[in-house]
Amino acid sequence: MKSKKILLGEGIFESKIFVTGNTIVDAVYQNIEISKGKVDASKALGIDNGDYFLATIHRQENVDNERKFRGILKGLVMIQEKFGFPVVYPIHPRTRKQLKTFRIKANSIKVIEPLDYLSFLKLESKAKLILTDSGGVQEEACILGIPCVTLRYNTERPETLEVGSNVLAGTDPDVIVEKTDLMLNRKKTCWKNPFGDGKAGKRIILVLKEKIA
């Protein structure tokens, strides 16, 4: 509904606006079912379902800035030590290159090779908490009911902040620990998914049929 208000504010006629929901929800729901046939990455890593943190860091503003990158990785090590759960980090090839460039070692973090979408989605769905600088992962965490800590100072998914599925932490390690503690005390799925119910595609088809007919 917020998007509708924005369009109305830009002068779009209400008769031309149709609230359908976000098709990302459709995709997540469909693919999480398909992923059930995949090998469970958490078992392959020797960790129990729900007993790990999942991290993704790839944005240029973070990984190309040595101070920020070191701050994030230090924060991940600190939460691992404080809360006793391993941090699983499927690393982007370019990010791995930056580790070498800055001569950073992340030995205590479970750095693994990138995963295919279905395997990653399954790993997301079973995590205790997700730490990320990805906008898409913020959405997926919200849809899957997994608490999220965003490793940035802003987000293009403000809906996640409003419903309480997500919180901004930036790159300061102490703040990352603080926000992780906050989100761990927030029950999974205690928020209403603001992106829709997984039926956006059907609604779009119905609107198109009605308008084309």
CATH number at residue 38: 3.40.50.2000
Q: pTM to 2 decimals?
A: 0.92
pLDDT at residue 114 in the model: 94
pLDDT of 146-193, one tens digit each?
Answer: 999 999 999 999 999 999 999 999 999 999 999 999 999 886 667 999
* 59 C-beta neighbours (distance < 10 Å), count: 18
- In the chain, the amino acid numbered 209 is K
| 91 is a domain residue | yes
List the catalytic residues: 58
- Is 204 contained in some domain? no
- CA 202, 207, 211, 213 dihedral sign is positive
5 within some domain: no
- Predicted pLDDT of residue 188: 66
The parent domain of residue 65 ranges over 22-199
Structure tokens at 100: 């070498």
What total of structural domains would you count in the chain?
1
- The pLDDT tens digits for 32-77 are 999 888 777 777 788 877 899 999 999 999 999 999 999 999 999 9
